[in-house]
Amino acid sequence: MAEPFELTVAQAAEQIKGRALSPVDLVQSLLRRADLLEPVLKVWVTLDREGALDAARQREQEVARGIYRGPLHGIPVGIKDIFYTAGMKTTACSRVYADFVPSYDATAVARLREAGAIILGKTVTTEFATFDPPPTVNPWDPAHTPGGSSSGSAVGVAACMFPAALGSQTAGSTCRPAAYNGIVGFKPTYGRVSRYGVIPVSWSLDTVGILTRTVEDAAILLSAIAGYDPNDPSASREPVPDYRGALHTLTTGPVIGLVRELFQHADGEVRGHTEEVVNRLVRAGAKVEEVPLPHSLQLILSAHRVILAVECAAFHEGLFREHAHLYSPKIRALIEAGMLVPGVQYVQAQRLRRMVRRDLEGLLRRVDVLLTPATPSPAPRDLTTTGDPMFQIPWTFCGFPTIVLPSGLSRSGLPLGIQLIGAPFAEGRLLAVAHWCEATLAVRLSPPLPRGAGPRP
């Protein structure tokens, strides 16, 4: 029988509902796991031991009284440290926000609490969710980057320190660390989940992300946090379907559009691995057709960088003028670059974005999903970088939903993944195809216990 810390959200939910597992026992198991792994992996900014145990006791008492809020009842989650949490520090891993304690929860956090989830604590992010590398390390090999910016959230899920976490994505900050750590990373459509109470990088790009070990768990979390929020002007009024129910709606093999021209930007091992994965999906019944990227990748990357830099500079302008010395080198360079971009260049980047989105929406009318490698290579052996997000940027740029699935290991023993892209607000279909691919590939990765792991002295 699995230890409580090893359970997925769905598995733990079933046991909690049937009173075979106490939320208190689950939290205690995860706290012991943190004591074992945190000295090496450095996942936590704040681990709220007492708060999590108090919440677990409340959830346990509710179950005893016949109150069950749903599949997140009593489930501990990690929260990236750019989400406001009432009464708990939200530092964005920056000296600028080192002592900031919000008085309210971000909408996504509030909705998790309403669904019965337990906030275990705040996970490490790169500074203000940008590019300066975090202290967190990759559990598969601490010499390799864990990816960013949702570094602590991804590593904590991969290492079974919690079964699910919230992240965010402005370029590749959910899907890339998911791929590097061998888990599921899901970025919904822009506007599908409220960003109220989330410290922004770029208002027109930022999207709340979900990190789990299975597609089903990602669907459970999305069902809890999706939906309109009057506090977020970008939040969509699109109705929220039953995402978990949608997982089983495929009646035939999916139609997959292969963006093969992106393969040239991956190393040889990733290219070969992705081709093998596609062949396995075809043998299982998928129909695959090659589709072109309708605009130059380099043009898309450049326009994305302009928008990101300008909007990041706009948010930080006042703080930066007073506290520039407190910012780390890479975010400081990003802000300074954004302040120098002419307004005409920013507007042209936004115009290109609308054209790219229109053309890619046309492609997605022909297929169920698009498929690319998740990353150009396995996690680099370089702790000064968080890796290359180029395979995520086109879809984040357009606001399309994407999901990364683990698909195997490299020759060096590091995780590899594939990425699926769906049409705007077609998360149900994307999750259904991802669930089908997950079942077909049958890949579940678990990192080894890192050297030096052990309980706190």
Tokens standing for 230? 């009057």
Mean pLDDT of 252-257: 97
Complete DSSP assignment for 387-402: ---TTTHHHHHHT--E
Identity of residue 20: A
The pLDDT tens digits for 2-23 are 899 999 999 999 999 999 999 9
188 vs 89: CA distance, rounded Å? 26
- Note the pLDDT of residue 457: 40
**Rounded Cα distance, 339 and 330, in Å:** 14
Known catalytic membership, residue 149: yes
Contacts of 67 (CB under 8 A, 6+ apart): none
Instruction: Supply the mean pLDDT for the chain.
Output: 97
How far apart CA 255 and CA 274 sit, in angstroms, is 17
Question: pLDDT for 265-323, tens place per residue?
Answer: 999 999 999 999 999 999 999 999 999 999 999 999 999 999 999 999 999 999 999 99
pLDDT at 136 over 50: yes
Quote the pTM value. 0.98
Residue with tokens 């990236």: 80
Could you report the per-residue pLDDT of 180-231, keeping only the tens digit for each? 999 999 999 999 999 999 999 999 999 999 999 999 999 999 999 999 999 9
Of the candidates 22, 94, 149, 377, the residue annotated as catalytic is 149
Q: What is the C-alpha separation between 228 and 140, in angstroms, rounded?
A: 38
Alpha carbon distances (Å) from 357 to 293, 401, 404, 409:
11, 12, 20, 33
> Residue 169 pLDDT more than 90?
yes
The torsion defined by the Cα of 83, 86, 88 and 92, in degrees rounded to 10, comes to 20
Q: Looking at per-residue confidence, does 8 or 454 come out higher?
A: 8
Give the whole-number percent of the chain exceeding pLDDT 70: 99
Distance of alpha carbon 268 from alpha carbon 377, whole angstroms = 9
Instruction: Return the pLDDT at 452.
Output: 79
pLDDT attached to residue 456: 47
CA–CA separation, 381 and 374 (whole Å): 17
Pick the catalytic residue: 151, 153, 173, 202? 173
3-state SS class at 95: helix
Residue indicated by tokens 């990227």? 293
Model confidence pLDDT, tens digit, residues 353-397: 999 999 999 999 999 999 999 999 999 999 999 999 999 999 999
* Active-site option among 22, 29, 42, 80: 80
Q: Has residue 1 got a pLDDT over 80?
A: no
Is a pLDDT exceeding 80 seen at residue 130?
Answer: yes
Closest CA to 375 of 163, 126, 180, 130: 180
Q: What pLDDT does residue 450 have?
A: 83
CA distance 162 to 155: 10
Quick one: pLDDT at residue 451?
A: 81
Mean pLDDT on 124-131: 98
User: What's the pLDDT at 455?
Assistant: 62
Residues in the chain: 457
Peptide bond into 194 cis (omega under 30): no
Contact between 265 and 390 (Cβ < 8 Å): yes
Examine the residue annotation and report whether 80 is marked as an active-site residue of this protein: yes
State the residue for tokens 């043998």. 283
Share of the chain above pLDDT 90, in %: 98
Q: What is the pLDDT of residue 137?
A: 97
Q: pLDDT digits over 182-196, tens only?
A: 999 999 999 999 999
Backbone angles phi, psi at 168, to 5 degrees: -150, 165
Could you tell me where the DSSP H helices lie in 22-106? Answer: 23-41, 49-64
pLDDT in tens, 417-429: 999 999 999 999 9
